[in-house]
Structure 1
Amino acid sequence: MTTAAQVLQGLFSAEGLEDPYRYYADLRRHGPVSLIGGSGPYAAVVTGYDAVNQVLRDPRVRVTDDAFADSHGGAAWREHPLLAALNNSMMYSNGERHVRARRLFQQVFTPRRVQELEPAMVAQISSLIDGLEARLLADGEADFMAEFAYLLPSSVVAALLGIPAEDLAWFRPRVQRINEFLDVTGKTAEVLARADEATVELSSYYRRLIAVRRTEPADDLISQLVAEDTDVTDEELVCNLLVLFNASFVTTIHLLGNGLSLLLAHPELRSAPMGPFVEEVLRYESPVQYVARYADDVIEIAGTTIPPKEVVLVMLGAANRDPESYPEADRFDPTRFAADPIVSTAERRASQGSVRPLSFGAGPHFCLGAALARAEAQLAFPLLMSRLPGLRAARAPVRYPQQFLRGFESMPVEVGDAP
């Protein structure tokens, strides 16, 4: 049998980028947790749904924070603007610092706030479809990722934060440079230098915007945050805004691209209920494929002992294809979520129902923007299909060149006869 380390090496190859799921299946043959020998950066890979869920919710398990960085390489990381910003944000912090920042930001991502945003999101979706339709009429085809999937979530998050719409084109390449480094295979000195430069530019932008909002408040999140009586420093605010903007729309870009790809492949689903459809897209093609975790002490995951301070690669995409949790896991089937997907593991085992995908994580670091991402997709797909019923693939899409984020870099579409 191929070792788990060999399978992991294959996963991060060109073949693994195209189809990671056969590698996940190979890893599962080693059990829900696979120990990785050698001198690599990971002690273990977690692929089983229950094991991934356990790791994400275990209070002893931590994200890789500044203390971890110090213990694994000294303080050299502090000289890199990107690494300093990440480790000063709630996404890469634990304990009280994480709770303090998350409490401040989560007030804007409540279900009620998302519901209040729906009319504005529908108007934005309609406007973007107008633009997509105009490009299709003028050129015969359009890139769905550039003309719609990027613009919708970035414009929604920008409006929430108070970033002017005309600045979004400036944001995109800088956000991409940061995302390039976050991928397991992208951590080279050259990629880090590009990400550092982007971080400096974005941080300067946020500092200027914070200063403006202190004297000229508006109806946006930054104005609200600077008006709060809080012990979150300006530097923490900048770092969290930088990470929040990336995290809040990058996953939604790929949710929209993956969802449209599946709609085009399954035209019979174009009029299906969008709640179950979006949930199945999240399960079947998780926009975020993995996260990293560690613990200060020895922990046991699904019967496997993990040494202290060793990094565990937690495979969200593999958990969502675990046949122990999802019968016929490699089949795209939105009807599996026709009933309420939010049930416990014990209830699922008793009823044979489905559990919610782990695409947005679980536990204390559950994605703040999950409800917003789901709402954008559930609103966008019906409007797209009703306005452009003949939408179809013009050519094969180009996959996004990262394992960390699964989606498409470009997706040429055209309009033909309605199916």
Structure 2
Amino acid sequence: MDAATAIGTLLSPGAAAEPYAAYAALRARGPVLPAGGAFFVTGYAEADRILRDPDMVAYDAALLDRQWSDWRANRAVALFADSMLRQNPPNHTRMRRLAAGVFTARRVNALRDVVAAQVDEALDDLAANTVGGEVDVITHLAYPLPIGVITALLGVPATDRGMFRRLAEALTAVLEVRFTEQQARVAHQAAYELEAYFNGLLALRRSEPADDLVTVLAAAHDAGGDRLTGAELMGNLALLLVAGFETTTNLLGNGLMLLLEHPEHARRLAADPELAPAYVEEVLRIDSPVQLTERFAGRDTEFGAVPVPAGSELILLLGAANRDPRRFADPDRFDPDRPGNAPLSFGAGAHYCLGAPLARLEAQVALPAVLRRFPRLALASRPVRRDRSNLRGWATLPVRLDSVD
């Protein structure tokens, strides 16, 4: 596969099916490859360095203005542009500090019992929804578990959780490198619907404050000054909600699929849940729930012995970097005992994912729990990948909970 074919494959709607051959084709031409006016980064060391370099900037409103004159007409794009995802210092630093207190290691660890209880409820639901011996583990575990956890942190009533899978599916389309006009229209409408919901919840939390993130961010906005504008408040609520469960849903689905494909590892993890942290890191490495991110060069520089002029777009293929043989021995093999495992799936540097400890915790609790509860778990029929090149996961993953060997 030549470089042009590989890039075309990765930017096509079908990229979600199997991007790794295209990654290998690009990597064979070096860790940083200039092509089509951008630089495609497949090397681990290079991607890690770019993510940590403060002069490599996120895709913010100023950059959007240069590349897409009417982007503000799409409410979903504008919503994320006002969030910390699309900000650089000092705005990014200010916004991140406001939310960071909810995701500290101590606070996340304190949620372990809460997560375990929600896992038990989700497993009961999984068993209760079996039809003809089959059940979709995405619909009845991988989505409801992280939705339940993040909505509890935000302060969203449990009765409202059902709407968020549909809204997130629509909104996250505009986080892809490419999306269709139809996806843009659906995302636009979903953004208005989510804003209307949050306006109602903000009004409730202003009259009835609680120990949750909506209350904290509303108070920051209401304090005035430069703490948080109204647009930033809404953008960050949307980001925290969507990012809070979309990546975790993909992590759970990808992890279960890998364990079903490697039954010896499934049995081992079920027998010893203390191995879960290492298993989760290897799932993150070999089938990352986030496959790519972007940066723009704020100065003339060089990566991988390739000159990169100021203003250049850098497409960081995290899924490729996580399989860089210079960093990981036998990188295409699923090996939870891999030493020094440190995937870039949650990024690095100033934009490192705030919710990474929570996502890891949910997977560390859920994966061994489902294997212990259903030791004969097996695929029931062919699963279907989501039509996403960036947020990699499963749309459906049908299983039998009590398969016959």
TM-score (norm 1): 0.91
Cα contact 1:34–1:46 (8 A) shared by 2: yes
Q: Structure 2 CA distance, aligned partners of 1:332 and 1:154?
A: 28
Question: Structure 1: where are the runs of 5+ without partners?
Answer: 338-353
Query: Partner residue of 1:121?
Result: 115
> Within the alignment, does 1:112 sit opposite 2:110 as a pair?
no
> Within the alignment, does 1:328 sit opposite 2:336 as a pair?
no
Q: Structure 2 CA distance, aligned partners of 1:407 and 1:114?
A: 24
> Within the alignment, does 1:166 sit opposite 2:159 as a pair?
yes
- Which of the numbers 180, 198, 205 marks the counterpart of 1:206? 198
- Which of the numbers 358, 373, 378 marks the counterpart of 2:359? 373
> Within the alignment, does 1:221 sit opposite 2:185 as a pair?
no
Alignment-mate amino acid for residue 280 of structure 1:
E
Q: Mark the CA change 1:11 to 1:218 in structure 2 (over 3 Å): closer, same or farther.
A: same
Query: Partner residue of 1:346?
Result: none
Shift of 1:268: 1.6
Q: Deviations over 1:306-336 (max 9, x none)?
A: 2222211100000000011000000111010
Q: Structure 1 CA distance, aligned partners of 2:13 and 2:329?
A: 28
1:184 is paired with a residue whose SS is: coil
1:34 is paired with a residue whose SS is: strand
Q: Deviations over 1:183-215 (max 9, x none)?
A: 2231x3222121111111101111211111011
Shift of 1:15: 6.1
Q: Deviations over 1:234-273 (max 9, x none)?
A: 3211110101111111010010001101111112222331
Q: Structure 1 CA distance, aligned partners of 2:156 and 2:282?
A: 32
Stretch moving more, 245-254 or 13-22 = 13-22
> Within the alignment, does 1:12 sit opposite 2:14 as a pair?
no
Cα contact 1:389–1:418 (8 A) shared by 2: no
User: What is the 5 A alignment of 1:203-352?
Assistant: 203-228=195-220, 229=223, 231-270=227-266, 271-272=268-269, 273-337=275-339
Q: Deviations over 1:128-162 (max 9, x none)?
A: 101111222x5411000000000000110000001
Query: Partner residue of 2:344?
Result: 358
Shift of 1:397: 0.7
Alignment-mate amino acid for residue 209 of structure 2:
P
Shift of 1:14: 6.2
Q: Deviations over 1:32-60 (max 9, x none)?
A: 000003xxxx5110000001001101110
1:95 is paired with a residue whose SS is: coil
Q: Structure 2 CA distance, aligned partners of 1:223 and 1:196?
A: 26
Query: Partner residue of 1:395?
Result: 381
Cα contact 1:63–1:92 (8 A) shared by 2: yes
Cα contact 1:325–1:355 (8 A) shared by 2: no
Cα contact 2:14–2:389 (8 A) shared by 1: no
Query: Partner residue of 1:23?
Result: 22
Shift of 1:415: 2.4
Query: Partner residue of 2:74?
Result: 80
Question: Structure 2: where are the runs of 5+ without partners?
Answer: 270-274
Q: Structure 2 CA distance, aligned partners of 1:56 and 1:223?
A: 31
Q: Structure 2 CA distance, aligned partners of 1:18 and 1:77?
A: 29
Shift of 1:299: 2.1
Q: Structure 2 CA distance, aligned partners of 1:58 and 1:181?
A: 25
Cα contact 1:16–1:23 (8 A) shared by 2: no
Shift of 1:417: 5.0
> Within the alignment, does 1:95 sit opposite 2:89 as a pair?
yes
2:337 is paired with a residue whose SS is: helix
Q: Structure 1 CA distance, aligned partners of 2:152 and 2:75?
A: 26
Shift of 1:380: 0.5
Query: Partner residue of 1:58?
Result: 53
1:240 is paired with a residue whose SS is: helix
Stretch moving more, 56-65 or 259-268 = 259-268
Query: Partner residue of 1:144?
Result: 137
TM-score (norm 2): 0.94
CA RMSD across the alignment: 1.6
Shift of 1:219: 2.5
Alignment-mate amino acid for residue 171 of structure 2:
I
Alignment-mate amino acid for residue 109 of structure 1:
F
How many residues align? The count is 395
Cα contact 1:210–1:223 (8 A) shared by 2: yes
Cα contact 2:378–2:403 (8 A) shared by 1: no
2:296 is paired with a residue whose SS is: strand
Q: Mark the CA change 1:152 to 1:45 in structure 2 (over 3 Å): closer, same or farther.
A: same
Cα contact 2:176–2:390 (8 A) shared by 1: yes
